[in-house]
Amino acid sequence: MLVPLTRQSIEQIVPIIATGPQYAHYWGKWSDFLRRLFISIIALTAAWLIGNLFGPGGLTIKLIFDIIAGLYWLWGPVYWASVRNNTYRRLPYGGFWRGRVFDAFVTEELIGEEERVNKRGELEIIENRQRCINLEIGDQTGFSAIVRAPLKRIHKSIRPGMVAEALLMSRDPDLGDINQLSDVHLPQLDQWIGEYPVLRRDIFQQVSGELGGGKEPRPKPSRYSNNVIRRRKTR
């Protein structure tokens, strides 16, 4: 089923400022932290050089810039998560979707490449790959999509036929053409699958509960809508 949500509900479910899981996602690994720290150092150095050129004038502005640049390693994840959230929030229409897991399979995905010099002094490219869980989800209207996430041990419990829930976003007021798909919630396992934690999970689960969360997907009247809308596949 697909139940259209009000704009107010969408803005509550997809936050404008990063949540804890979103901040953790963009905090990344040790190498990501070092990259942000390096950018902070470069920005502070540039500010110091510019300050020397212009003398003591504008000390207040320089101090503010120094604080912002010097703490980029800390606030950077908030900024990038907010930018990511905006790709969902700028779409005007959305709906709560409930369907099923059609299939679950594992793939190896290329996540980056590194250049290294081997023992013979030759430059070679090393591919960094990551094992991922892929869920094919869909419903009886013909909608289907694949959601991917890094593979974890807890994913062994996922089985075809389980209930899957997500937020679908669209530019179409009838939600006939889906432009964005959020991370997917499996209520029977209380697991979330996706590359990025888009949703305010507590609010999303509250909406799910109002619509009979975790039960057999079927149209159900609610304060949001009582229409099931047919839609095409995601892009």
Residue 233 inside a domain? The answer is no
Residue showing tokens 């994840």: 77
Distance CA 25, CA 19 (A): 10
Residue 25 inside a domain? The answer is yes
Statement to judge: residues 99 and 204 lie in one domain: yes
Residue 225 inside a domain? The answer is no
pLDDT at residue number 214? 58
Statement to judge: residues 110 and 197 lie in one domain: yes
Statement to judge: residues 80 and 131 lie in one domain: no
Beta bridge partners of 101: 137
Statement to judge: residues 83 and 98 lie in one domain: no
Q: Report how far apart the first and last C-alpha atoms of the chain are (Å, whole number).
A: 19
Residue finishing a domain among 39, 69, 90: 90
Statement to judge: residues 145 and 183 lie in one domain: yes
Residue finishing a domain among 90, 106, 137: 90
pLDDT at residue number 125? 78
Residue 220 inside a domain? The answer is no
User: pTM here?
Assistant: 0.78
Statement to judge: residues 127 and 170 lie in one domain: yes
Residue 11 inside a domain? The answer is no
pLDDT at residue number 107? 93
Residue 72 inside a domain? The answer is yes
Residue 228 inside a domain? The answer is no
Cβ atoms < 10 Å from Cβ of 210: 14
Statement to judge: residues 180 and 204 lie in one domain: yes
CA distances (Å), origin 232, targets 4, 20, 154, 168, 217:
15, 33, 31, 12, 18
Q: What is the pLDDT along the chain (235 residues), one digit of tens a residue?
A: 899 999 999 999 999 999 999 999 999 989 899 999 999 999 888 877 777 776 666 677 778 888 888 899 999 999 999 999 999 999 999 999 999 999 999 999 877 777 777 777 777 777 788 899 999 999 998 899 999 999 999 999 999 999 999 999 999 999 989 999 999 999 999 999 999 999 999 999 999 999 876 554 443 333 333 222 233 344 3
Statement to judge: residues 33 and 112 lie in one domain: no
Residue finishing a domain among 42, 70, 90: 90
User: In which domain, by residue range, is 86 found?
Assistant: 20-90
pLDDT at residue number 224? 30
pLDDT at residue number 233? 40
Statement to judge: residues 147 and 51 lie in one domain: no
Statement to judge: residues 47 and 122 lie in one domain: no
Statement to judge: residues 191 and 138 lie in one domain: yes
Statement to judge: residues 101 and 181 lie in one domain: yes
Distance CA 56, CA 77 (A): 33
> Domain tally for the chain?
2
Residue 71 inside a domain? The answer is yes
Cα 129 from chain centroid?
20
pLDDT at residue number 231? 37
